[in-house]
Amino acid sequence: MLIEHIGEDYYHVSLVDLVHHYDGGAERSFATCEQLIEWVKDHPSLVVKAVRRGEVGQKLAQPKPPPGYPPNPGAIYQHLENGDIICGELIVYDTYGLRKPGLGTGGG
């Protein structure tokens, strides 16, 4: 699912543009996470982020806690772990797999 995080709430997004992190250049638009993730995997080591295009959609329920844990009103979506993409968060596909890059990740 494509997701926008606004304040403490999460919203569904129906269309995003994929933008290069380092120069802001736009690549293309995507309507599904599956399409976006496949494109990122086909372009290894390119650090990108999804940027919402258009209006936000329906407000999403808070993420469900793991089995046996109480609800957590401050819970956040763990996007790449379940196939979701959160607008504005960096993603990269490299030798470590699909991930959110940390400090020091860069191009040469």
pLDDT given for residue 61 in this prediction: 80
Strands (E), the chain: 2-6, 9-12, 16-20, 26-30, 48-52, 85-86, 90-94, 97-99
pLDDT band at 22 (very low <50, low <70, confident <90, very high): confident
Q: Which two tokens stand for residue 7?
A: 């304040």
- Write out pLDDT tens, residues 47-65: 999 999 988 999 988 767 6
What tens digit of pLDDT does each residue of 64-94 get? 767 787 766 666 666 666 788 999 999 999 9
Question: In Å, what is the CA distance from 44 to each residue of 39, 66, 98, 104?
Answer: 9, 32, 9, 17
Tokens (6 digits) for 55: 């209006």
Q: Of how many residues is the chain composed? A: 108
Task: Identify the band that residue 103 occupies on the pLDDT scale cut at 50, 70 and 90.
Answer: low
pTM for this predicted structure:
0.76
What residues does each domain of the chain span?
A: 2-99
Torsion angle of the four alpha carbons 67, 4, 79, 15, in this order, in degrees rounded to the nearest 10: 120
- Residue 59's DSSP bridge partners are 11
Residue 15 predicted with pLDDT over 90:
yes
CB atoms within 10 A of CB 52: 19
